[in-house]
Each structure stands twice: as structure tokens, then as C-alpha cells.
């Protein structure tokens, strides 16, 4: 749940496209992600995914100061080391440059939402970039949240 909400925060930046007269003036190249990835051969638990993708995850160690889970995500998303490395570098550059405000806002929202050991989604919604513009349109009245058989949330 926490990662899904953070993903929503991180993707909220382009919301200016919905504000009259405030559309983006330049197009940012999207990350290139593989459309198909080899299925994990050792199940879908993290330990199995690490065993399957361990060499590529390890090869991404020197790319930047990112978590092992981030390296695993890039190892699984791209078919080879060159593409995984290039895209991870692009992600790091974005998060330290143009996307820094969004990343910092997400980190602050996460910290406040988890104070006390639980999760306060209202805090995250209120702190999302452009919350004053989008929160009226993203509510339980018009958003359906379901879960998969594995327990993942689907919006």
C-alpha cells in the first residue's frame, strides 16, 4: 500500500497538463522499459528474484546510492546490464535534478504518514504535488480500489 501511494505521489508531477493554460512546454523522454521480461525462475518472492537476478543487481552496485530493491527493479525491467545501467543513471539524474522536489515531497509525506507506526493516507494525499488541484478528483467517490489474489492493490 505504501509503495502504491508513493508511486501516485511520484507520478503526480505532470498534473499541470490538466490545468488550463499550464500544459508542459517541453516533452521529457520517458524511461525506456522492456515490454517483456524473462519470468523469474525461482518464484516471485524477493529471495527468489534476488537469486535469479543477483548478478545484474550486483553489477548495478556502483551506479548510484540506491537501495538493493531499486537495483532489483531495474535488473528485472531491462534485458541487459547496459540498458539497466543507463536507465538507472537516468532515474538518479532525474531524482537529483528536475524531480528532486517531487522525491523530497514523497519522502517527507512518507515520514509523516508513518509517524506512530501506522499509515495515514490523508497526510500523503494532502502533501502530494498539486494536491489542491487534484484531490477533488481522486476520492473514494470516483476511485475504485481492489486487490489481486496476491494482495496487491489495483486502482
Q: What is the pLDDT of residue 107?
A: 93
Are 90 and 74 within 8 A, CB to CB?
no
- CA-based radius of gyration for the chain: 17
Task: Flag whether pLDDT at 8 surpasses 60.
Answer: no
- The rounded distance, in Å, linking the Cα atoms of 59 and 75 is 9
Give the pLDDT confidence score for residue 43 in this predicted structure: 55
Q: How confident is the model at residue 24 (pLDDT cuts 50, 70, 90)?
A: very low
Task: Please report how many Cα atoms fall inside a 13 Å half-sphere around the Cα of residue 150, on the Cβ side.
Answer: 6
| Residue 27: pLDDT band with limits 50, 70, 90 | very low
Q: What is the pLDDT of residues 31-83, one digit of tens each?
A: 454 444 454 444 568 899 999 999 999 999 999 999 999 999 999 999 899 99
For residue 79, the model assigns a pLDDT of 85
Residue 92: pLDDT band (50, 70, 90) is: very high
How far is the C-alpha of 48 from the C-alpha of 76, rounded, in Å? 12
The C-alpha atoms of residue 88 and residue 4 are separated, in whole angstroms, by 20
Q: Cβ-count burial of 64 within 10 angstroms (0-12 exposed, 13-18 middle, 19+ buried)?
A: middle
State CA 87 to chain mean position distance. 14
Distances (CA, A) of 105 to 9, 89, 126, 136: 8, 21, 11, 20
Distance CA 81, CA 88 (A): 10
Whole-number pLDDT of residue 151: 75
Residue (of 79, 66, 69) closest to 46 by Cα position: 69
Residue 44 pLDDT: 67
pLDDT at residue number 23: 43
pLDDT digit string, tens, across residues 107-140: 999 999 999 998 888 898 899 888 999 888 887 7
> Considering the entire predicted model, what is its pTM?
0.59
The answer to whether residues 32 and 76 touch, using CB atoms and an 8 Å cutoff, is: no
**Distance from C-alpha of 119 to C-alpha of 122, rounded to nearest angstrom:** 9
Amino acid at each position: 500500500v505504501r509503495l502504491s501511494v508513493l508511486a501516485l505521489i511520484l507520478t503526480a508531477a505532470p498534473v499541470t497538463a490538466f490545468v488550463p493554460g499550464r500544459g508542459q512546454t517541453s516533452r521529457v523522454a520517458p524511461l525506456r522499459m522492456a515490454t517483456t521480461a524473462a519470468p523469474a525462475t525461482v518464484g516471485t518472492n524477493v529471495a527468489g528474484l534476488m537469486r535469479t537476478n543477483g548478478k545484474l543487481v550486483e553489477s548495478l552496485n556502483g551506479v548510484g546510492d540506491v537501495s538493493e530493491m531499486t537495483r532489483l527493479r531495474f535488473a528485472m525491467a531491462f534485458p541487459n546490464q547496459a540498458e539497466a545501467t543507463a536507465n538507472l543513471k537516468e532515474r538518479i539524474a532525474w531524482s537529483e535534478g528536475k524531480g528532486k522536489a517531487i522525491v523530497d515531497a514523497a519522502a517527507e509525506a512518507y515520514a509523516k504518514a508513518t509517524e506512530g507506526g501506522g499509515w495515514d493516507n490523508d497526510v500523503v494525499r494532502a502533501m502530494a504535488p498539486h494536491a489542491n488541484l487534484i484531490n477533488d478528483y481522486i476520492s473514494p467517490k470516483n476511485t475504485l480500489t481492489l486487490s489481486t489474489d496476491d494482495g496487491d492493490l489495483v486502482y
